[in-house]
Amino acid sequence: MMRCSYTLGLGEPNLAGKPSLKYDTVCKPNEVHNLKTTPYDDRIDNCENNAVHATHQIVESWIHVSRKLLEKNHRRDISRRFEKAVEDCYTVERIWKLLTEVEDIHLMMDPFDFLKLKNQLSLKSSCYETASFCMRSKELVEVTKMCRDLRHKVPEILEVEVDPLGGPRIQEAAMKLYVAEKMNGFEKIHLLQAMQGIEVAMKGFFYAYKQVLVGGDGEVLRLMETELE
């Protein structure tokens, strides 16, 4: 906060005499309270409805941001703008990690209310419900596909063509890059590492989300067994 041009006005020392942040100018309290309502309030009586609705709004907002960054990366000539591509990739990686933290909020909900709400909202990805209900988000599916397609940029970054016979041409070019002493070699390495970070963070998100569903179902079964005993 020492580098900020304003103070929060929450009792912290203000020796520099900075102006206080005007919260009402940014967002008025009544506007925040209006966001507490959901489209399902008239037909669903569940205390966890607001929590699920709020978390999914946050998730969808960050997914949209991630999509715009990936679209910009796909349009950009990566071979000329390594630094910008690295910044965008690291931002996308951080967004995936943030989404994982947001989805973990579901673990604090009451398991019975959570599963009851899931049935009330008919949260499922297909009629057979073979995947997590987060797959209802079309933009999440698109962002996931765009993140996976980043691997097709690797030959362009390494300035080699993929061997149609499956030879180790890409691997050899990557090893040469790591031992190269050119100035742009470090930028390429950082970009490849950022792409790997996106893939790891993305897998962590989907693994954590499945754990949320398994944890909710398992907790309900455990409580039911305890009551029967």
pLDDT in tens, 10-38: 777 888 888 887 777 777 777 766 666 66
pLDDT for the residue 79: 58
Asked if residue 160 has pLDDT above 70, the reply is: no
Confidence of residue 200 (pLDDT cuts 50, 70, 90): very high
pLDDT for the residue 208: 81
Q: Does domain 50-118+133-228 have CATH number 1.20.58.480?
A: yes
Look at residues 32, 3, 29, 30 and name the one whose alpha carbon lies nearest to residue 18: 3
With a pLDDT cut of 90, the percent of the chain lying above it is 10
Distances (CA, A) of 93 to 67, 157, 196: 12, 19, 9
Tell which wins on pLDDT, 143 or 31. Answer: 143
Tell which wins on pLDDT, 87 or 127. Answer: 87
Look at residues 73, 122, 77, 106 and name the one whose alpha carbon lies nearest to residue 217: 106
With a pLDDT cut of 70, the percent of the chain lying above it is 59
Asked if residue 223 has pLDDT above 50, the reply is: no
pLDDT for the residue 179: 59
- 31-88 residue pLDDT tens: 766 666 666 666 666 666 777 777 778 888 899 999 999 988 877 766 567 778 888 8
Averaged confidence pLDDT in the chain? 73
Asked if residue 8 has pLDDT above 50, the reply is: yes
198: exposed, middle or buried (Cβ count in 10 Å: 0-12, 13-18, 19+):
buried
Pairwise CA distance, residues 194 & 132, whole Å: 27
Contact call for residues 141 and 175 (beta carbons, < 8 A): no
Asked if residue 93 has pLDDT above 90, the reply is: yes
Look at residues 153, 132, 135 and name the one whose alpha carbon lies nearest to residue 144: 135
Here the contacts of 69-74 (C-beta below 8 Å, separation 24 or greater) are 70/143, 70/146, 70/147, 70/150, 71/146, 73/150, 74/146, 74/149
Question: At a CB cut-off of 8 Å and minimum separation 6, what does 64 contact?
Answer: 139
pLDDT for the residue 40: 62
Map out the domains of the chain as residue ranges.
1-35, 50-118+133-228
pLDDT for the residue 16: 84
Please tell me the least confidently modeled range out of 45-49, 116-120, 142-146, 220-224: 220-224
Question: At a CB cut-off of 8 Å and minimum separation 6, what does 82 contact?
Answer: 184, 187, 188, 190, 191
Distances (CA, A) of 28 to 11, 32, 33, 37, 226: 21, 7, 9, 16, 47
